[in-house]
Amino acid sequence: MRITDLLENAHFKSEEFVKQTDDGNEIDFDLTEDLVFFLNNNDDAYRRHLLPAVHKFIDTQKAGNEPKYTIFKTAVADGYKRYTQQYPMRELPDEIDKKTWKTTCKNLFDQISKDMEDGHYDHT
């Protein structure tokens, strides 16, 4: 995971996380995985973006409804903006694309669902 490299090494070169392709330069890491890690481990992103979505997820379940992965849409979109501000790279798109957004939301949904089953969230 590249974000751990960034967190451990304050003096990074963005070129280390980019690969040359026939179409130009592309990022050389899984953006979805990195974004999930960032949302879970950056205090500000977690408190401002992810935690409110988690509370909404829990409230939806407690109301007897089944939450959908799209419950994390705003958290992922806003978290991505914060991610690109903190880790600016030319190769990162200005806006998150639909495939990355959807995969990130689904990964968060699966992770939060498992954490709920394991009793890690107690929202009252």
The pLDDT score that the predictor gives to residue 123 is 56
Domain residue limits at 90: 30-117
pLDDT in tens, the chain (124 residues): 455 555 555 555 555 555 555 565 565 567 788 899 999 999 999 999 999 999 999 899 889 999 999 999 999 999 999 988 888 776 677 888 899 999 999 999 999 989 888 877 765 5
Q: How many domains does the chain have?
A: 1
Look at residue 38 and tell me if it is in a domain.
Answer: yes
Q: Which helix (H) or strand (E) holds 26?
A: strand 24-27
Residue owning tokens 């988690």: 54
- DSSP assignment of 34-75 equals HHHHHHHH-HHHIIIIIHHHHHHHHHHHHTT----GGGGHHH
Count of positions (residues) in the chain: 124
**Domain contains 85:** yes
Query: Residues with Cβ < 8 Å from 74, sequence gap 6 or more?
Result: 49, 53
Residue 1 lies in a domain: no
Say whether pTM exceeds 0.85.
no
Task: Indicate whether 3 belongs to any domain.
Answer: no
